[in-house]
Amino acid sequence: MLQVRDPGFLDLLGLSPKIVEFVKTDAHEGAVWYPDQNELYFSSNRIALANGGSRADLKKVNLKTGGVTVLSAAPTDVPNGMVLDNNGDLLVCQQGSKTQGGFIQRVNLKTGKKSVVADNWFGVPFNSPNDAVVRSDGSIWFTDPSYGSVQGFRSAPKVNNQVYRISPSGVVDAIADGFTQPNGLAFSHDEKRLYVTDTGFALGQGSFDVTRPHSITVFDIGADGLLSNRRLFASVGVYDGSSVGLGIPDGIKVDTMERVYVATVDGVQVFAQSGKPLGLIRQSGVANMGFAGKGLDTMYMLNGTGISYVKLKMKASGLKYASMS
């Protein structure tokens, strides 16, 4: 269940942590806690359609009862990562289809009303938005890889795979490129650094290329919101070395001690702020995770076929709403 690389890992979990299998359900991305109703929002795995297209379900689970609800969605919606904004609305990364580009969708969780926040950069449609975070100034930052095209449900990309920022006034700026497949992203606790995972190693359809990145990049964030001092934070490997298909850095989170948590398919790997590996919480199939509970001390992990959780001794990073990304 645990593989310890550094004794500091035990400060996070204790000597005998317990992973609890919470609910069996198709659960892939999201893991966003909505404290007002004590619910966790997430998306399902992609569902192939007879016409060659795809869809995915937007779902929620009540953390007290374990009851799962599938929310209404358009037939072509393919939701992936998500985050709560500073007002408590859900921002969903919609990956698009053959006939519609990807977009960032806002869902008012009280009324159910949906709207499009952004769907293009200088008139060029997004590829397949994957994951998003919200800064304390209200800006929305998200990754835009081309996995929709790779997986056959989205048309060919019209722009390179970038990281974008949407200002509070709605202006879309590309803030980082040079990634193969930018995936998860997270701010440091003080919002002075941005971490971005690159899953270019995974080609899709279960194939891999060992010459492509499976890494975490970190940037400094200036007072003007621009990124600088790009550097490698960690290249993610597999603890037991048993499969080339594991060790893929997907969802990423940061706690108040600046520990970095990364979903790596073989579980959740934890790193110190320096990039030093601390250990692995083994849970096969994890693509993303999120923090919940009054103290933000419970980590819920989405492993494809269910949701499990483990109690931590550290709080998650960030704001009342936006941190639960």
In DSSP notation, 237-275 reads --SS---TT------EEEBTT--EEEE-EEEEEEE-TTS
Q: How far apart are CA 270 and CA 107, in angstroms?
A: 31
Residue 53 structure tokens:
């297209």
Instruction: Please say if the pLDDT value at position 323 is more than 70.
Output: no
User: Average of pLDDT values for 36-44?
Assistant: 95
Q: Which pLDDT band holds residue 137 (cuts at 50, 70, 90)?
A: very high
Place of tokens 């000597």: 15
Beta bridge partners of 46: none
Query: Torsions phi, psi of 296, nearest 5?
Result: 50, 40
Q: How far apart are CA 95 and CA 77, in angstroms?
A: 7
Q: How far apart are CA 155 and CA 183, in angstroms?
A: 19
Q: Which pLDDT band holds residue 291 (cuts at 50, 70, 90)?
A: very high
Share of the chain above pLDDT 70, in %: 94
Q: How far apart are CA 187 and CA 60, in angstroms?
A: 25
- Under 8 Å between Cβ of 261 and 212: no
Q: How far apart are CA 26 and CA 33, in angstroms?
A: 17
At residue 202, the pLDDT reads 81
Task: Parse the chain into domains and list their residue ranges.
Answer: 2-311
- Under 8 Å between Cβ of 302 and 30: yes
Instruction: Please say if the pLDDT value at position 41 is more than 80.
Output: yes
User: Average of pLDDT values for 82-97?
Assistant: 95
Side chain identity, residue 153 = F
At residue 325, the pLDDT reads 40
Place of tokens 């060029």: 124
Instruction: Please say if the pLDDT value at position 93 is more than 90.
Output: yes
Which has more pLDDT, 156 or 193?
A: 193
CATH of region 2-311, choose from 1.10.760.10, 3.40.720.10, 2.120.10.30, 3.30.70.20: 2.120.10.30
Instruction: Please say if the pLDDT value at position 143 is more than 70.
Output: yes
Please provide the average confidence, as pLDDT, over all residues in the chain: 90
Instruction: Please say if the pLDDT value at position 89 is more than 60.
Output: yes
Instruction: Please say if the pLDDT value at position 324 is more than 70.
Output: no
Which has more pLDDT, 204 or 198?
A: 198
Q: In 3-state terms, what secondary structure has residue 48?
A: strand
**pLDDT digits over 169-187, tens only?**
999 999 999 999 999 999 9
Q: Which pLDDT band holds residue 302 (cuts at 50, 70, 90)?
A: very high
Q: Is 200 exposed, middle or buried (0-12, 13-18, 19+ CB in 10 A)?
A: buried
At residue 246, the pLDDT reads 57
**pLDDT digits over 230-251, tens only?**
999 999 987 765 555 457 899 9
Angle in degrees, CA 235, 240, 241, rounded to 5: 65
| Residue 278: closest CA among 27, 1, 4, 24 | 4
Share of the chain above pLDDT 90, in %: 69
Among 55-59, 82-86, 293-297, top mean pLDDT goes to 82-86
Least-confidence region, from 76-85, 147-156, 210-219: 147-156
At residue 241, the pLDDT reads 59
At residue 240, the pLDDT reads 65
- Under 8 Å between Cβ of 298 and 315: no
292 Cβ neighbours under 8 A, 6+ residues apart: 33, 35, 38, 40, 63, 298, 300, 309, 324
User: Average of pLDDT values for 262-269?
Assistant: 92
User: Average of pLDDT values for 36-60?
Assistant: 87
CA–centroid distance for 172 within its chain: 20
| Residue 287: closest CA among 264, 310, 259 | 264
User: Average of pLDDT values for 21-25?
Assistant: 97
